[in-house]
Structure 1
Amino acid sequence: MTLTNPSSTFKIILGSSSAPRQQILAEMGYEFTIMAADIDEKGIRRENPEELVMTLAEAKADAIMSKLQHIDFQKDDEPTVLITADQVVVYEGIIREKPSNEEEARQFIKGYSGGHAATVGSVFVTNLKTGSRRGGWDKAEIYFHAIPDEVIENLIEEGAVLKVAGGLLSEHPLMSPLIESLVGTADSVMGLPKALTERLIQEVI
């Protein structure tokens, strides 16, 4: 798919199967195709959350580029931009990724009740025509009211919390009324900070 912006025309591949990221990129006015990276995220470990999400986003980009190596993007008139991203939740100094099971998700969400957590998310953008690459990270903090057990069980029964970092689904209709305050932006919490993404796209184009 092709996007026309004031200065150039280019194609976008979003290297993510995340519905919130797809929603945010569409809200930014972009059309795109989707590819999943399929990497072993647990096989990449870093103690620093910012370093971890940056390393994972770059690894996702490398994995997708490997799948696309049979395509000569340099011959295209229009550049193709690949966007990959990663996110973790940091709670009491501990990095949380996707819950491994329902019980872990339950414990994660119970911990947020009346407390707070931070999201650290990365965006990595590659121009497949020129090879230019740029990355960055963004952070947000979420403060919660008390989260009733009934809400937690309903979220777990639906299953979506098992697919997101820290089991944190702040935009969910059951959770959003329980957020006391947010330091940062909602799109950052959802996994694709708009301002950072736009800046990185412009830098590689």
Structure 2
Amino acid sequence: MLSKKLKNKHIILASGSPRRQELLKGLDIDFSIKVKSIDEVYPQSLKAEEITNYLAELKAEAFDNLLKDNEIVITSDTIVWHQDKPLEKPKNEAQAIEMLQELSNKVHKVITSVCIKSNDKQKVFFDVTKVHFKALTNNEISYYVKKYKPFDKAGSYGIQEWIGFIGVTKLEGSYFNVMGLPVHKLYEELLIF
């Protein structure tokens, strides 16, 4: 369903995230996976989508001079933005519990930036979803963290897991963006890339 000019392109998803891989598969696009290890460090002066834009571009930079003429690489980065600061991946159980207590009974933003890059051009865009959480009990938070170990997830949760089923009361924006890839926007951007 993508444009004819993309038919001859080889798309690379530069992400080890099973969720992003599953979401891209949902667009019926053939792609391969190549992950380059980078230090996800950004200037502390950056805020909100400036952080995710910067990191998505940084991940794409790892492919400079490595792409063939018919290749397009897709990189992305997701953060939870709450009370004017990023909640990234928790380092341990205590930090995960603390983050979820912070999100309990509040609204936060999930921001995902995507970078599409070929040898001759690059496009960066982002999407924002507002997520409303109910008041979570300490037992619910503890159960979720112990059972689901959300240490690879920004903000310490996966919306597609138990905590999303019982805790998320309202979404303003894309559900898939919260999972890590705003596929509706990615599809539109690939059509015109």
* Cα distance change on mapping 1:46 and 1:39 into 2, 3 Å: farther
Q: Which of the residues 106, 131, 137 maps onto 1:148? A: 137
Looking at structure 2, the residues matched to 16 and 99 of structure 1 have their Cα atoms a distance apart, in angstroms, of: 19
Do 2:131 and 2:170's aligned partners in 1 also have CA atoms closer than 8 Å? Answer: yes
Do 2:42 and 2:55's aligned partners in 1 also have CA atoms closer than 8 Å? Answer: no
Question: Deviations along 1:37-72, whole A, 9 cap, x unmatched?
Answer: 311113554421111111100110111x15x72x6x
Amino acid at match of 2:99: F
TM-score by length of 1: 0.85
Looking at structure 2, the residues matched to 28 and 113 of structure 1 have their Cα atoms a distance apart, in angstroms, of: 33
Looking at structure 2, the residues matched to 203 and 101 of structure 1 have their Cα atoms a distance apart, in angstroms, of: 42
Looking at structure 1, the residues matched to 173 and 60 of structure 2 have their Cα atoms a distance apart, in angstroms, of: 26
TM-score by length of 2: 0.90
Q: Which of the residues 162, 165, 170 maps onto 1:176? A: 165
Amino acid at match of 2:186: T
Q: Which of the residues 60, 73, 84 maps onto 1:93? A: 84
**2:186 maps to 1:194:** no
1:50-199 residue pairs with structure 2 within 5 A? 50-63=49-62, 65-66=63-64, 69=66, 73-74=68-69, 79-128=70-119, 131-199=120-188
Determine the structure 2 residue equivalent to 1:29.
Answer: 28
Aligned residues: 191
Do 1:54 and 1:86's aligned partners in 2 also have CA atoms closer than 8 Å? Answer: yes
Q: Which of the residues 4, 7, 31 maps onto 1:7? A: 4
Percent identity reads: 25
Structure 1 residue 6: deviation in Å? 4.6
Amino acid at match of 2:17: S
Question: Deviations along 1:135-184, whole A, 9 cap, x unmatched?
Answer: 11110110011223233223322454111111131111342232110000
